[in-house]
Structure 1
Amino acid sequence: MGLVARGLRWRRAVLAVFVASAVTLPVVGAARPPVPAPPPVTLAAPTAATLDATYAAHRAGAAKAARMAADYGDRRRAAADRALADPARHLLAFDGRGSGLVTEVLGDLAHADRVAVLVPGSDTGLDTYGRFRAAAQALHARLTREAPAGIRTAVVAWLGYETPATIGVAVATTDLADRAAPELRAFVRDVRAVTGPRPRLSLLCHSYGSVVCARAAPGLDAAGVDDLAVVGSPGMGVDTAAGLRTRARIWAARGADDWVRHVPHIGVGLFGTGVGFGTDPVSPAFGARVFEAGDGGHSDYFAPGSSSLPNLARIVLGETTAVTHD
């Protein structure tokens, strides 16, 4: 019986590797040649006074990247870059190389009273940026509608790291999150340099983005992050919310139809690295504030009409007693 039990545990561990790898690790050997793009413009950290110049400089970089992608024959990338170069877009960062990086502001960041920073999950790059931006737009529209009179809001879509692909069979590790965490900490500090200490600041982290936020969490208190909410998380690499070592309130939600609920919550050492992300963030053992997400799937947390979107807006607005719970 002991051998049978050990065999079952082993099979579950192997299943965990295969399922979780679909969440986290990039495809090896299937990548196309990179689309040519200029290096990103080098600017000082933005301030409230330099925001417009920062936006314009990165739009110019996106316009140049669009021309290079068009000359290369990649119409999809050229269209994505061209859209980002529109004069109405507010880009805090842009890098058209590889899968691409972009940080975009919705709203008036310099004068906002509530700021939300969205951190995306797997398979997000310039070619798929539209769906990530749609989530930011839906949240900003909800915040604009629900904010009390006189309260201004801004949402920042932070695609500031190389996200993993959703296809591939490999061990699930925190490697990409470990590389991204210093970038996220630095970015949050830059946001505070623009806004000052006054606004409430929330991090909203989806899927593998929750692993990035977890890795960044111990360094976020200095920037005054008030709330950290994860949705569709495969785990955060720690056993409990206290293990994140942050004063921010920790929130978690998962939709009833989210396939990530099938990811086994293990954390084991294998070949010198960690496999899996540990305790389920929506479990009582983790200790997060679990809020309602309804019947939504993995991509539905910011969808208009979902149960999770109004709760996320309430968290950002600081209306925490109005958040509904499962």
Structure 2
Amino acid sequence: MSGYLGADPDRLDALGQSLLAQAGSIDELRAGLGGQLYGTDWTGADAEETRADWETSHAPALGAAVDLLRAMSQALLHHAVQQRGASAADGASSGGVPAQRIPVSQIPHTGADPAAVRDWWAGLTQRQREDLMHHQPQRIGALDGIPAADRDTANRVLLEQLLRKDPHNPGLDALHDRLAGKHDPRAYLLGLAANGDGRAIVAINNPDESANVITYVPGTGADLSKIDGDLVRADRMAADANQLDPTRQTSAVLWLGYDAPDSIVPDAMNPGYAENAAGGLSRFQDGLRITHEGEPSHNSIIGHSYGSTTVGIAGRDQGLAVDDMIFVGSPGVGVDNAGDLGISSDHVWSTTAANDPIQYAVVPHPLAPIPSVIVNEARGELIHGLNPSRDEFGAHVFTSDPGTPLITTKHVSVQVPLLPVPPNPVWSGPTVEVGTDVPVGVDPHAHSEYWDSRNESRSNIARIATGNYDEVR
């Protein structure tokens, strides 16, 4: 006799883990085939037809098989946890051996040292880990130092719980769609919270198994309800890097693990949002190092807009366990010199599009607002420090496309007589149209176009993320 009521949970666990491993193998096969198909120098009608068949038929079929196996695996693992609970409740009569459930008080707090969390997690049995991932998903999914695959399991449980409470939440829906296997490669949910503006951490490819890891920190206006746009950027960075170097997998992580400013004025002028995020961002980077398998990965971090301020202040105040630091469209990073960011200035990078209005984000002096704006802009003194794309900052400045013209114009014209006109006549002779374009407004779109198709900034980010520094332009 097994000693349990109903099925043997150990066998359910073993079968669930086997199905999960098989799903991972198929997913890796799908990703590898897709990478080879798109990484091969092959053009023409046959190439387009083959790739179209892959996208519309073969890749979705493999993805559906992966989803089915993972769903079956999760169901079996969940049943195992329930079975142990049932057997424990009836242990006196059945002779069952209940799982040693870990008390909530023994779970490390969210800000715990990732190395200590890793050691605690490693000291648990697989049965205890499964129990915690399914019964304490909010606590386990938020812990830096727990492997990405286990955090993903816990946060997927949490996501389903949140969706049952709020089935029409656009941010949760976007996460569910991206995690459902409809896209390639696989995404891992490393953090989730729905309170306030919401928070989420999503990795494209498993960072624990990747040779290159790039963490992307978005800026003003980023929140859970609008996460789909930032997920697209993470997907593009992963695709760009893996296409550039298909021999060494790159994982791109969207880190919306902080409360980003809601507005440009006054919120984004306040460094407090970045200062509050610094500890969590630094701890997350430590966790990536702690849980990584095999040789150390090449880790980069990229901040866009206010996200660059967050990255810079975290580097300044906490230190970041990264190899490269990248600023895109920055209003300043909390320091005036690349050497003050906690890493070698030779591994600090920055770009600002020619038409990005962020380069004019200066603070006017209350006694002389217009002169001070002119002077500060000329000096590159922005809201949160010296523009990191200025030479005197000391970073490597790389190229981005200019973007949409900053100044919008309107054509204004008048009809001018071709011949001299007597005083006050009613002219009916020949005329010519004379006109010019006059400025009528400002277009900020260049600030958000760094990840657009064929923008040179995307290629340069991929080169930095994969360590191909000599190719950065």
Letter of the aligned partner of 1:140 in structure 2? A
The offset of 1:76, in angstroms, is 3.0
Distance, in Å, in 2 between the alignment partners of 1:212 and 1:313 is 21
Partner of 1:292: 399
Gaps of 5+ in 1: 1-38, 269-274
Which runs of structure 2 are paired with 1:167-186 in the superposition (5 Å)? Answer: 167-169=264-266, 172-186=269-283
Which runs of structure 2 are paired with 1:65-214 in the superposition (5 Å)? Answer: 65-70=162-167, 74-77=168-171, 79-80=173-174, 82-83=176-177, 86=180, 89-147=187-245, 150-169=247-266, 172-195=269-292, 198-214=296-312
Partner of 2:115: none
The offset of 1:280, in angstroms, is 1.0
Partner of 2:383: 276
Partner of 2:450: 301
Point out the structure with max Rg over C-alpha.
2
**Percent identity, aligned pairs only?**
26
Letter of the aligned partner of 1:302 in structure 2? W
Letter of the aligned partner of 1:83 in structure 2? D
Aligned residue pair count: 273
The offset of 1:240, in angstroms, is 1.3
Relative distance call for 1:82 and 1:112 in structure 2 (3 A) is closer
Partner of 2:465: 316
Partner of 2:324: 227
Distance, in Å, in 1 between the alignment partners of 2:291 and 2:463 is 23
The offset of 1:115, in angstroms, is 0.8
Assess if the C-alpha contact under 8 Å between 2:351 and 2:397 holds in 1.
yes
Assess if the C-alpha contact under 8 Å between 1:206 and 1:232 holds in 2.
yes
The offset of 1:85, in angstroms, is 5.8
- Find the residue that maps to 2:278 and give its secondary structure: helix
Relative distance call for 1:303 and 1:171 in structure 2 (3 A) is closer
Structure with the bigger percentage of helix: 2
The offset of 1:183, in angstroms, is 0.5
The offset of 1:60, in angstroms, is 1.5
The offset of 1:219, in angstroms, is 6.1
Letter of the aligned partner of 1:76 in structure 2? P
Relative distance call for 1:308 and 1:194 in structure 2 (3 A) is same
TM-score (norm: length of structure 1): 0.77
The offset of 1:321, in angstroms, is 1.0
Partner of 1:13: none
- Find the residue that maps to 1:177 and give its secondary structure: helix
Relative distance call for 1:59 and 1:288 in structure 2 (3 A) is same
Distance, in Å, in 2 between the alignment partners of 1:321 and 1:192 is 26
TM-score (norm: length of structure 2): 0.54
Of the two structures, which has the highest relative contact order with CA contacts closer than 8 Å and spacing of 6 or more?
Answer: 1
Indicate which of 36, 40, 45 corresponds to 2:144: 45
CA-to-aligned-CA distance 1:210-264 (integer Å, 9 cap, x gap): 11111111467673x1110000000112111122232361100011221212212
The offset of 1:317, in angstroms, is 0.6
Partner of 1:240: 337
- Find the residue that maps to 2:253 and give its secondary structure: strand
Letter of the aligned partner of 1:210 in structure 2? S
The offset of 1:303, in angstroms, is 2.0
Assess if the C-alpha contact under 8 Å between 2:353 and 2:401 holds in 1.
yes
Distance, in Å, in 2 between the alignment partners of 1:267 and 1:137 is 41
Letter of the aligned partner of 2:466 in structure 1? L
Relative distance call for 1:171 and 1:86 in structure 2 (3 A) is closer
Assess if the C-alpha contact under 8 Å between 2:328 and 2:351 holds in 1.
yes
Relative distance call for 1:199 and 1:82 in structure 2 (3 A) is closer
Distance, in Å, in 2 between the alignment partners of 1:182 and 1:263 is 26
- Find the residue that maps to 1:154 and give its secondary structure: strand
CA-to-aligned-CA distance 1:97-135 (integer Å, 9 cap, x gap): 111111111113222111101111111111110111110
Partner of 1:11: none
Which runs of structure 2 are paired with 1:10-49 in the superposition (5 Å)? Answer: 41-43=138-140, 44-47=143-146
- Find the residue that maps to 2:191 and give its secondary structure: strand
Gaps of 5+ in 2: 1-135, 367-381, 404-445
Distance, in Å, in 1 between the alignment partners of 2:365 and 2:400 is 26
Where in structure 1 do 4 or more consecutive aligned residues deviate above 4 Å? 219-222, 265-268
Relative distance call for 1:203 and 1:106 in structure 2 (3 A) is same
Distance, in Å, in 2 between the alignment partners of 1:67 and 1:85 is 16
Letter of the aligned partner of 2:162 in structure 1? A
Letter of the aligned partner of 1:215 in structure 2? I
